């Protein structure tokens, strides 16, 4: 199994491009692609290569999966939608016409409107609403150069949407890379046109207004409000609760205290 570094477990394969052995203390019984040897747990097999990230991305091709499973989609006369034969659909689930549902788990009382696409390894908990033309679990775009050729990382993770969420129309939630999950916390609202990047962790009762954009691996704590058109750069963390990020703001660094912020880049109001 391929793994991002922080999630690496026994028998997994991961990579590291840095030089600090403290970042590797949690590794045991796994394979590590790295630039130099490290004095770490002897059970870790270290594979020394010039570009660990490139080698990891190349390796991901061997683990590629079919996340939609077109050959196993069956047209449902009840819903007028295509549903994977192995999808787990709970009680009182509504699925709109023209939707495509991959091999996923949809729990009770979920309402899916028309023309929604849900990829495999998505888990949607009860009482969630997803409006029309939204895509859940799409492929993130991560690549590195191999001379003059792009090598893409196969996205092998999933999406977890907790209970009582509301997701607007034309939203996109990208699945996690390797063995990570993109998380949308309980009670969160995403207004129309919002985009969530791979591996992002959105807390409980977050409100994202129209057109919010989150890069990959963003973290948002509970009860935050993200204004229309705001952008949070990849890897940025909103670590306090009750942050209000103003419309059109661009967060380029971690925010650690409660309050109102706006501007490009953000500043406290």
Catalytic machinery residues: 198
Task: Say which DSSP state 154 is in.
Answer: P
Compute the distance between CA of residue 108 and CA of residue 86 in angstroms, rounded to an integer. Answer: 17
Compute the distance between CA of residue 173 and CA of residue 231 in angstroms, rounded to an integer. Answer: 15
Let me know how many helices (H) and strands (E) the chain has, helices first: 1, 33
Compute the distance between CA of residue 216 and CA of residue 63 in angstroms, rounded to an integer. Answer: 21
Task: Say which DSSP state 49 is in.
Answer: -
**CA nearest to 226, candidates 214, 239, 215:** 214
What's the length of the chain? 269
Task: Say which DSSP state 204 is in.
Answer: T
- The strand pairing partners of 206, in sequence order, are none
């Amino acid at each position: 199994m391929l793994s991002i570094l922080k999630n690496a477990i026994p028998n997994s394969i991961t990579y590291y491009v840095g030089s600090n052995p403290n970042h590797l203390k949690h590794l045991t019984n796994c394979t590590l692609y790295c630039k130099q040897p490290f004095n770490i747990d002897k059970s870790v097999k270290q594979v020394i290569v010039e570009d660990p990230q490139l080698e990891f991305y190349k390796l991901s091709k061997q683990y590629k999966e079919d996340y939609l499973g077109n050959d196993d989609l069956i047209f449902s006369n009840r819903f007028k939608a295509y549903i994977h034969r192995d999808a787990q659909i709970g009680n009182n689930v509504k699925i709109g016409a023209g939707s495509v549902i991959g091999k996923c788990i949809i729990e009770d009382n979920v309402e899916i409107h028309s023309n929604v696409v849900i990829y495999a390894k998505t888990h949607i908990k009860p009482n969630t609403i997803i409006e029309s033309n939204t895509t859940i679990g799409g492929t993130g775009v991560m690549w590195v150069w191999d001379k003059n050729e792009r090598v893409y990382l196969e996205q092998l993770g999933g999406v977890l949407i907790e209970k009582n969420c509301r997701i607007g129309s034309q939203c996109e939630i990208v699945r996690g890379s390797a063995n990570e999950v993109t998380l949308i916390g309980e009670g969160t609202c995403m207004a129309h046109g919002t985009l969530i990047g791979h591996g992002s962790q959105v807390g409980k009762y977050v409100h994202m207004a129209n057109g919010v954009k989150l890069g990959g691996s963003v973290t948002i704590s509970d009860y935050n409000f993200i204004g229309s058109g705001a952008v949070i750069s990849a890897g940025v963390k909103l670590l306090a609760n009750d942050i209000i990020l103003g419309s059109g703001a661009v967060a380029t660094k971690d925010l650690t205290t409660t309050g109102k912020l706006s501007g490009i880049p953000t500043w406290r109001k």
